[in-house]
Structure 1
Amino acid sequence: MIPEQFTIAHIAEILKAKSFLPTPNSVIKMLLIDSRTIINAQITLFFAIAAQRDGHIFIADAYKNGIRNFVIADPTYAEKYPDANFLLVQDVIKALQNLAAHKRKLNDLKVIGITGSNGKTIVKEWLYQLLAADYNIVRSPKSFNSQIGVPLSVWQIEPEHTLGIFEAGISKSGEMQHLAEVINPTIGILTNVREAHAEGFANGIEKLKEKLLLFNNAELFIYSPEYVSGVNIDDLPGKNKFSWSLSSAADLKITFIEPIEGRSYIRAIYQNEEIECLIPFIDDAAVENGIICWATLLALGYTAKEADVRLEKLTQVSMRLELINGVDNCSIIDDSYSADISSLAIALDFLNLQNQHPKKTIILSDIYETGKSSEVLYREIAALLIQKNVNRLIGIGSNISSFADLFEMDKCFFERTQSFIEQLPAIHFVNETILIKGARKFEFERISKLLTQKIHDTVLEVNLNALTNNLQYYRSQLVTGVKLMVMVKAFSYGSGSFEIANVLQHQKVDYLAVAYADEGIALRKAGIKMPIMVMSPEPSAFDAMIKHQLEPEIYNLQILKSFLHFLPVDIQHYPIHLKIDTGMHRLGFEQDDVKELLPILNTDELKVMSIFTHLVASADQVHDEFTTQQLHSFDEIYKQIADFLTYKPIKHALNTSGISRWKNAQMDMVRLGIGLYGFDSALTSKNLQTVAVLKTTVTQIKVLKAGETVGYSRKGVMPQGGTIATVKIGYADGYNRAFGNGVGKMLINGKLAPTIGSICMDMCMLDVTGLNVKTGDEVIVFNNEQTIADLAKQINTIPYEILTNISQRVKRVYFYE
């Protein structure tokens, strides 16, 4: 039986940690790895994990925000904060895992463990939908399946829970055993095993065997023979096994699949009888995940009839928060498909990250199946909303409405979603960020549609998780102490402005850089407070730059003298950045300018924050000798200036490809540009993730006769006739006219379709002859399969141009998991 509470002294015993405990009876209920996401500091234990950045450096922030309990690997921190509790361990991540494993052992409940390459999160969420009527379920929030995410998920287990559903993901050998000890599943499910995350394994068999370690102690193992090819059947884990297959003998042998009006009718042989089910999806991945859930229900003892009834009610799972432009200068965070306390905390952190509006509002439904009494639940939520600086609550549902008095903020309540919609004209939403968070039964997608700006159907989806992962990859390449400046010029390479900058500010990069002052001013007005360098300052913008504390790049004597002349007399040590020209021959001081430059810098009015140069060809091996010359010239000029000054400015030269190829030249800071968005010509490995997906829709289908033509000037000819699809993207959206007449291709239903005829201003046509395409179908212009690099090759340009040319009339939707 789990003790009523964990004290820090009790945890010290569990972890066998050396302890410094001025208050040993402090109660711990929450575990934390990120000092920016504190909910209740008094009952929280902070783990200083060394990942891309050493978690010890955030102890000061955590302490400042009220945390007084820490697990550390560096004993010096215990001396700095004598009034705080510290547990000293050798490996902080392992300590986190051991603590979660201990709590798991104290709770005797059925636990489903899920692993595989694809489908883990969907299967987990669908099993939650299918089994929630029979169990009090605790499950992984979102896709928390890593070495850190799994123990944080398992720590949620409480005595009232009767079923746990946890997913586990690995990227290299040696990881799964740790997660198996934490989850200790009684039931194991293996989802699709493909090439994803294969880089950390010698081969596919090694990866498969590593994944199977999760199920070594399982009572029941659910799998498809196709996924375990290469492993002897006698070596498979699980005291009992349940198999399913589309092609070979199995406990559940699928014999027939047919799409019917957006659903899939499936027949199978089970216990020598034919059974059937209807799954409300038709894409291959969803059907496969649905079959895994079908097999699980049958393996758990549900009848074929009951399984069919439940499967037919499955609903779409959206694990991603969407950030969209809303009406009346609002930003909408759409999380309208789920409502539970753990995902609410994640969504509120994302809301708190948004600084572009002065007011933060949440529209929140009743929350169900938490295992807590309603009063305890809503008291906890009320405290959470205050802690996350939420200004206004709109509660929908009879349960949350009955606890209205607990919420000390601007608030209003409605019994039903329809009641809120009817009153919407009287509720004013202006210049605020609105989080829409609701259980599926409340149909909050109706609210999202009403509050979202109506823009045409071409959309650029920006994956903020992928962007963050790319950022962390480049950080992992840096020597300790090297700073990071990130380029957000040109509307963040077409991806957005404050939306990207907010993420970078949250991730604590050191500098942002923009091309022009107005870009920096827009970021300041959106709540970006970090240092911003302006690369092309204009004298006409000096006043605004000073007002908004923007730091100019100074690249010649004339602009330096103009800026000095403009500075108000009462300003001292205004930050500037000196650009040195070592070979780009675009902007910058040259060696001959230094003699005249130095006396001008001898003033208290200015402070040179950094001195930098721009490498011409850091990605090209053929020009490495020239790059070496650039770096040598820069060293000499930097030394002349730094020796003259009484302080040492930041020194930097490397751009994206320079970070990848010139690690010995990182100096004091590097500048990350298009690598943040997934492109680095110096990288050949799959280190970067696709950040942006451009998609549109089919407007109309036409069947043409032999010899008929398509588009302006009759350039698209159909000699044999065929079928064309008109799609909602044209050169005004940034789809270049050079893509016309078969040069460009788009993905429809997984198949490439070439353009036909000229690209029009607002639309273009695709040859979809022989493809099953209908009006309203989604069309992918670029994604991780047909990449921006592929499009660039098609018209002989570079990815920068493809990305930055996307018109701002194209709606940006930002996803965050």
Structure 2
Amino acid sequence: MAINAAHIATLSGAKLLGSQEASFTQFAFDSRRIHSAQRTCFIALKTEFADGHRFIDSAISRGATTVICSHAKYAQEYPSVAFIIHPEPIEVLKSWGAEQRAQLPGDVLAITGSNGKTVVKEWLYELLGAPEEVHRTHASFNSVLGVPLTLSALESKHQSAIIEVGIDRPGQMKSHAKLVQPTLGIFTTLGDAHGEHFENDHKKFQEKWKLFSSCRCLVLSRESFDLAVALKLPIPARTMIWGKGEALDPENIPQWPFEGEYQIANAMAAVGGALLLGVTMEDIQRRLALLQPLEMRMQLRGAKDGGYLLEDTYSSDLNSLRWALEELASSAPTEKKWAVLSHMGNQERTAQAKELVKSYALDRVWWVEQPEDVPELTASFAGLDLSKITVLVKGQRAFKLEQFAATLQDQYHSTWAEVNLSAMRRNLQKFKKVLNPKTKLMAMVKAGSYGSGTLEVARWLQSLHVDYLGVAFAQEALSLRAQGISMPILVLNVDALQMPMLAAAGTEVELFSRHQLDHWLSVKRNEVLKVHLKINSGMNRLGFAPEAVSDLLKELVNYSSVEIVGVFSHLAAADNSSKDTFTKQQLEVFEKVSAQVKAQFPAAVSHVLNTHGIHRFSDAQNDMVRLGIGLYGAGTYKGIEPLEEVISWKCKVSQVSTLEKGDFVGYGLAFKAEKTMKYATLPVGYADGLSRALSAGKGRVFINSESCSILGRVCMDMCMVDVTALKVQAGDEVEILGSNQNSTELAAAAGTISYEVLTGIGPRIPRLYLKD
């Protein structure tokens, strides 16, 4: 649908400059997701972390035909582009979204709660039969920006909508409710998310409840209903309560496709929503069997031959296809891009999809016409080399393209790690909140980005405009440069022999010893070696003694092949309050030496604070800080909002067996059953990073959120756990790290630290990269 720039400017009372005839088909708030094939309106938003006006040039160079911003100065530079000028650009988007909402003829079902919103929305859509005339929120676009973006995408073909709505602080929901004007509602759960911004859970519940002020019907659990009554909140005339003994009783569903309480709770909310939207219970029960966990949504993982696989095989409609193509265009780690796509259900939609795909000029595209064609497709791909290629696999559920995608994966292993890049971004923002506006930030990506994967994390951080990356060894830096990472990189632990390669690659190096410098100066150099001078302020690991710095600086002034671009040190005990006297002494030493360096090299960047230092010694931010373990969500830090662990580690049950009294299990006969019991064998062992110190019940995993102790010894590739009290079968998912057990807790059980747990997750464990 073409949107006229003049029309939405008039709607919001904005001023239109430049092209008066411009139109576009979609909005974008991230210039990297703009593609010249799609007429796009770029919204230059200003947040506490970034100013979108900085990326207007980039947006236009990528093909934006319209820009919504608050500054008129850009219009003179680009007369052929339409500029909609408004002091609050997001208000223009809201005005358009409100008009689209007003024209929708049918119901709007709004979903809110602390957890499960996206799952409930997607499952509800499946229970409706995935109709094209029902619009729904893309992914988890439920924020202050996501809600108006969702409404802005409504079209004349849509008869009703499912809108996901989230808040993270008081005062937000009233604005959402006014914009969405829902007629039906679902409340999922009340949980811990964003609790730091609310006085208590009751206040959070009351804020979320404001969404339902215009609803005539509501779906919720008995627990949530009772809380609403207790808080004397207005309740719609019709409520559909689910729970044991209620009108919607999970026990009345004859067969669930899953067993976990959390999944059943989400499914019951979706069932209630489907009933409100007119689906019969007969159709609902038939479609329930098709519901799948959302793991099949937009995952980037390694493929065979060193390529990449971008997998989204849960569903496929024109809107989600467009988002997948944008993700492929903006985030693929390779230059070559392929796509394997299913037909869309009818000829008209498939033709529209083919036109959309054609506009992205992919290198190769396969269209799967019938599910029966998948085996032939699989056979044809067996002989293809996927090196330096990213393959998008996206299709409707009936095609079961996840089975085809599994054949493209790099060495299948039923143990895997999920890396939530969106959680990493949020962690980064939480630390940035406590930094001075001009303080730079170096993100540490050494040791495989603390187990998360160096290249993929580096690409993500570069896209977030982080100032620096920090690595431990030359090979890490050279590999990143070879694969397109162009941002500044500091290399620690540099061998003198590697300095020429690093200088040629444009990286910066740690200069900690006289022998490094002597080697560099021993021959005439064409390159300039950019160094960060390492000061030994008391940790006594590496670095120049403070008293040696003055003479060193006098000498370096005479050499054109060496440039001091930074000065830094390491704190030995920033996390230990009992050692604060020593830490303060280190900071004093560094401050004096840093001043010496800056006197002769004023542009040198000074940095000394690590993750713990950032929150405990914020007065010593200097020019830059180094964020390590905190970026990946491990630990808690006073003054920093609660973090999200970036890595989840999972596997699947290989086998379930029984031990009789007196039976042994595992090497060394280390465990002897004192009674009849049931145990599960898991495909994960110490070669994968599951410490042998977790043997003999010291460690545990979780199945269906229930704790299962490790029996006997952890083996190289396997371990056994007690599942006596559980209903478990082969193929069930197991959580090693996740919502039930974080890296700090697992480390405590193994007698180590979270750093070792995360960096120890083995290289044979495939990483899946997610954006929620």
TM-score by length of 1: 0.88
Deviations 1:139-168 (A, max 9, x none): 111111111111111111011211211110
Aligned runs of 1:291-302 on 2, under 5 Å?
291-302=268-279
Say if 2:205 is the partner of 1:208: yes
CA distance in 2, matches of 1:74, 1:369: 45
CA distance in 2, matches of 1:247, 1:697: 30
| Structure-1 residue corresponding to 2:34 | 38
Secondary structure of 1:230's aligned partner: helix
| Structure-1 residue corresponding to 2:713 | 758
Q: Do 1:117 and 1:196's aligned partners in 2 also have CA atoms closer than 8 Å?
A: yes
Which segment drifts farther, 475-484 or 5-14?
Answer: 5-14
| Structure-1 residue corresponding to 2:449 | 492
Secondary structure of 2:195's aligned partner: coil
CA distance in 2, matches of 1:309, 1:703: 35
CA distance in 1, matches of 2:720, 2:378: 39
| Structure-2 residue corresponding to 1:15 | 12
| Structure-1 residue corresponding to 2:643 | 688
CA distance in 1, matches of 2:491, 2:231: 65
Say if 2:315 is the partner of 1:338: yes
CA distance in 2, matches of 1:475, 1:102: 36
Residue identity in the other structure for 1:394:
W
Deviations 1:450-497 (A, max 9, x none): 111234322222222222221222223322122211111111112212
| Structure-2 residue corresponding to 1:359 | 336
CA distance in 2, matches of 1:769, 1:279: 22
CA distance in 2, matches of 1:769, 1:173: 45
CA distance in 1, matches of 2:757, 2:231: 53
Deviations 1:59-95 (A, max 9, x none): 3332443435333345666677676544443433344
CA distance in 2, matches of 1:762, 1:334: 27
2:690 to 723, 729, 735: 735
Say if 2:142 is the partner of 1:155: no
Q: Do 1:279 and 1:290's aligned partners in 2 also have CA atoms closer than 8 Å?
A: no
Q: Do 2:534 and 2:543's aligned partners in 1 also have CA atoms closer than 8 Å?
A: yes
| Structure-2 residue corresponding to 1:393 | 365
Say if 2:358 is the partner of 1:382: yes
When residues 529 and 349 of structure 1 are mapped into structure 2, their CA distance, relative to the original with a 3 A threshold, is: farther
| Structure-2 residue corresponding to 1:581 | 536
Secondary structure of 2:678's aligned partner: strand
Q: Do 1:741 and 1:757's aligned partners in 2 also have CA atoms closer than 8 Å?
A: yes
CA distance in 2, matches of 1:587, 1:526: 30
CA distance in 1, matches of 2:74, 2:618: 31
Q: Do 2:225 and 2:241's aligned partners in 1 also have CA atoms closer than 8 Å?
A: no
CA distance in 2, matches of 1:452, 1:213: 45
Matched positions, count: 770
Say if 2:482 is the partner of 1:525: yes
Residue identity in the other structure for 1:792:
A
Q: Do 2:22 and 2:65's aligned partners in 1 also have CA atoms closer than 8 Å?
A: no
By how many angstroms is 1:238 displaced? Answer: 7.0
| RMSD (Å), alpha carbons | 2.9
Say if 2:725 is the partner of 1:770: yes
CA distance in 1, matches of 2:617, 2:70: 32
Deviations 1:184-229 (A, max 9, x none): 2222222233333333222333222222222222343333342132
CA distance in 2, matches of 1:445, 1:133: 19
CA distance in 2, matches of 1:743, 1:773: 21
When residues 349 and 544 of structure 1 are mapped into structure 2, their CA distance, relative to the original with a 3 A threshold, is: farther
| Structure-2 residue corresponding to 1:410 | none
Which segment drifts farther, 699-708 or 590-599?
Answer: 699-708
| Structure-2 residue corresponding to 1:619 | 575
When residues 303 and 504 of structure 1 are mapped into structure 2, their CA distance, relative to the original with a 3 A threshold, is: closer
By how many angstroms is 1:102 displaced? Answer: 2.6
When residues 574 and 82 of structure 1 are mapped into structure 2, their CA distance, relative to the original with a 3 A threshold, is: farther
Secondary structure of 2:324's aligned partner: helix
Secondary structure of 1:113's aligned partner: strand
Q: Do 2:705 and 2:740's aligned partners in 1 also have CA atoms closer than 8 Å?
A: no
Aligned runs of 1:317-328 on 2, under 5 Å?
317-318=294-295, 320-328=297-305
Which segment drifts farther, 303-312 or 800-809?
Answer: 303-312
Which segment drifts farther, 784-793 or 523-532?
Answer: 523-532
Q: Do 1:515 and 1:535's aligned partners in 2 also have CA atoms closer than 8 Å?
A: yes
CA distance in 2, matches of 1:473, 1:234: 32
Which segment drifts farther, 112-121 or 127-136?
Answer: 127-136
CA distance in 2, matches of 1:369, 1:125: 21
CA distance in 2, matches of 1:302, 1:279: 18
By how many angstroms is 1:688 displaced? Answer: 0.7
Q: Do 1:279 and 1:314's aligned partners in 2 also have CA atoms closer than 8 Å?
A: no
When residues 243 and 698 of structure 1 are mapped into structure 2, their CA distance, relative to the original with a 3 A threshold, is: closer
By how many angstroms is 1:313 displaced? Answer: 4.4
Which segment drifts farther, 96-105 or 296-305?
Answer: 296-305
CA distance in 1, matches of 2:715, 2:292: 38
Q: Do 1:5 and 1:29's aligned partners in 2 also have CA atoms closer than 8 Å?
A: yes
2:21 to 2, 22, 25: 25
Q: Do 1:574 and 1:607's aligned partners in 2 also have CA atoms closer than 8 Å?
A: yes
When residues 791 and 422 of structure 1 are mapped into structure 2, their CA distance, relative to the original with a 3 A threshold, is: closer
Secondary structure of 1:772's aligned partner: coil
Say if 2:402 is the partner of 1:435: no
Q: Do 1:144 and 1:153's aligned partners in 2 also have CA atoms closer than 8 Å?
A: yes
Deviations 1:544-565 (A, max 9, x none): 3234333211112221222233
Q: Do 1:353 and 1:503's aligned partners in 2 also have CA atoms closer than 8 Å?
A: no
Q: Do 2:431 and 2:640's aligned partners in 1 also have CA atoms closer than 8 Å?
A: no
CA distance in 1, matches of 2:742, 2:554: 51
Which segment drifts farther, 151-160 or 654-663?
Answer: 654-663
| Structure-2 residue corresponding to 1:263 | none
| Structure-2 residue corresponding to 1:52 | 49
| Structure-2 residue corresponding to 1:408 | none
Secondary structure of 2:522's aligned partner: helix
2:741 to 766, 777, 786: 786
Deviations 1:18-56 (A, max 9, x none): x25132332243222111111347541423231422223
When residues 65 and 476 of structure 1 are mapped into structure 2, their CA distance, relative to the original with a 3 A threshold, is: farther
Residue identity in the other structure for 2:507:
L
Secondary structure of 1:755's aligned partner: strand
2:100 to 100, 103, 116: 103
By how many angstroms is 1:397 displaced? Answer: 2.5
Q: Do 1:488 and 1:497's aligned partners in 2 also have CA atoms closer than 8 Å?
A: yes
CA distance in 2, matches of 1:241, 1:313: 29
CA distance in 1, matches of 2:727, 2:465: 47
Q: Do 2:636 and 2:642's aligned partners in 1 also have CA atoms closer than 8 Å?
A: no
By how many angstroms is 1:716 displaced? Answer: 2.3
Say if 2:519 is the partner of 1:562: yes
When residues 391 and 301 of structure 1 are mapped into structure 2, their CA distance, relative to the original with a 3 A threshold, is: closer
By how many angstroms is 1:237 displaced? Answer: 5.4
1:594 to 532, 549, 558: 549
Give unpaired runs (5+ residues) of structure 2. Answer: none
CA distance in 2, matches of 1:791, 1:657: 20
Aligned runs of 1:84-163 on 2, under 5 Å?
85-132=82-129, 136-163=133-160
Say if 2:150 is the partner of 1:194: no
Q: Do 2:440 and 2:625's aligned partners in 1 also have CA atoms closer than 8 Å?
A: yes
Which segment drifts farther, 280-289 or 550-559?
Answer: 280-289
Give unpaired runs (5+ residues) of structure 1. Answer: 258-265, 268-276, 399-413
Secondary structure of 2:711's aligned partner: coil
By how many angstroms is 1:171 displaced? Answer: 1.4
1:704 to 646, 659, 668: 659
CA distance in 2, matches of 1:166, 1:213: 15
Residue identity in the other structure for 1:530:
M
By how many angstroms is 1:787 displaced? Answer: 1.3
Q: Do 2:611 and 2:626's aligned partners in 1 also have CA atoms closer than 8 Å?
A: yes
Say if 2:226 is the partner of 1:229: yes
CA distance in 2, matches of 1:775, 1:45: 49
Residue identity in the other structure for 2:496:
P
Secondary structure of 1:174's aligned partner: coil
Say if 2:436 is the partner of 1:460: no
